[in-house]
Amino acid sequence: MEKETSVVIIKNVAGVRALLAGLLALGVLSANTISAQSVDDLIAERIKPVGEVCLAGDTCTGNNNSSNTTAQTTADTGGATSGFDAEATYMQSCFACHSTGAAGAPKVGDAEAWATRLEKGMEVLIASSVDGLNGVMPPKGLCFTCSDEDLAAIVQYMLDNSQ
Backbone φ and ψ of 12, nearest 5°: -65, -40
* Residues 92, 58: Cα–Cα separation, whole Å: 30
Residue-level pLDDT at 65:
41
Write out pLDDT tens, residues 51-96: 777 777 777 765 444 444 444 444 443 467 778 899 999 999 999 9
Mean of per-residue pLDDT scores for the chain:
78
Residue-level pLDDT at 64:
47
- Whether the full predicted model's pTM is greater than 0.85, yes or no, is no
Residue ranges covered by each domain of the chain: 2-47, 49-78, 86-160
Which residue from 52, 159, 55 is spatially nearest to 113, judged by alpha carbons? 159
How is residue 66 annotated by DSSP?
Answer: S
Residue 102 C-beta-side C-alpha neighbours within 13 Å: 11
Write out pLDDT tens, residues 4-46: 655 556 666 677 777 777 777 666 555 555 555 688 888 888 8
Residue-level pLDDT at 40:
83
86-160 has which CATH code? Answer: 1.10.760.10
The residues, ordered by sequence, that sit 6+ positions from 115 with a Cβ below 8 Å of its Cβ are none
Residue 70 C-beta-side C-alpha neighbours within 13 Å: 6
